[in-house]
Amino acid sequence: MPAASKVIMTDEYAVLIQERTGLYWILSLEKASLVKTGNIFKKVTPEMIAKGGFPEPILCVNPEKSGTILLSSIEEEYFLTEPDDVDREMYELKQNNPNISHQEWMATYIRRLDEVRARNPYVIWYRIYPESGKIEKLYEPPEGGTFIKEMGKSDYWRPLQDGSVRMGVLD
């Protein structure tokens, strides 16, 4: 799983985050060694991980200027009880209906994403402190961030120099 993980670099650490399971590995660049492992999500079991995890529970991850790691995810209770995999559904739709037009396929895709967002409208924020391995769930979004999903604006964000975040597609 580490090989299929997102790698986030800070000045002193490399942090690998497996986006389908929430597993993470913190490596010290100075010591070239593993410092800490864990899981962002407290209720995910080894059996769930062995099955490959969940479709996109982690939305976006970026380093912060301070050396911490900021990440956003969907709500754990939601993906544990309703593991929607819209991308898999849409792949199967195209495979089972080869004559479907691109417009019809895209309209179906957007409708399904809207349905999922309506059932799970929240963005949850966490901060990882690589030096200690501590994970903190944030009870307020970072400045510029949101707790409510918006189509095309909440799945991606980037940190800014002033410590705030800018939501939306990265251009």
pLDDT at 166: 86
pTM, two decimals, is: 0.78
Q: Note the pLDDT tens digit of each residue in 60-71.
A: 999 999 999 999
Q: How many residues does the chain have?
A: 171
106 in a domain, yes or no? no
Mean pLDDT of 26-55: 88
Structural domain boundaries, residue 35:
2-82+120-167
In a domain, 76, yes or no: yes
95-104 pLDDT, tens digit each: 999 899 999 9
Report the chain's mean pLDDT, rounded to a whole number: 85
Tell me what the mean pLDDT of segment 21-37 comes to: 93
Question: Does the residue 105 lie in any domain?
Answer: no
Residue 99 lies in a domain: no
Q: Please determine, for residue 76, whether its predicted confidence score (pLDDT) is greater than 90.
A: no
Residue 156 lies in a domain: yes
Distance CA 84, CA 88 (A): 9
Confidence of residue 168 (pLDDT cuts 50, 70, 90): confident
Report the pLDDT value the prediction gives residue 154, as an integer from 0 to 100.
Answer: 65
**Structural domain count of the chain:** 1
Q: Is residue 115 part of a domain?
A: no
106 contact partners, CB below 8 Å, separation of at least 6: none
The DSSP bridge partners found for residue 162 are: none
The answer to whether 137 touches 126, Cβ cutoff 8 Å, is: yes
Q: Per the domain annotation, does 160 fall within a domain? A: yes
Structural domain contains residue 95: no
Residue 88 banded pLDDT, cuts 50, 70, 90: confident
How big is the CA angle at 75 (ends 134 and 59), to the nearest 5 degrees? 75
Q: Which residue has the higher pLDDT, 22 or 78?
A: 22
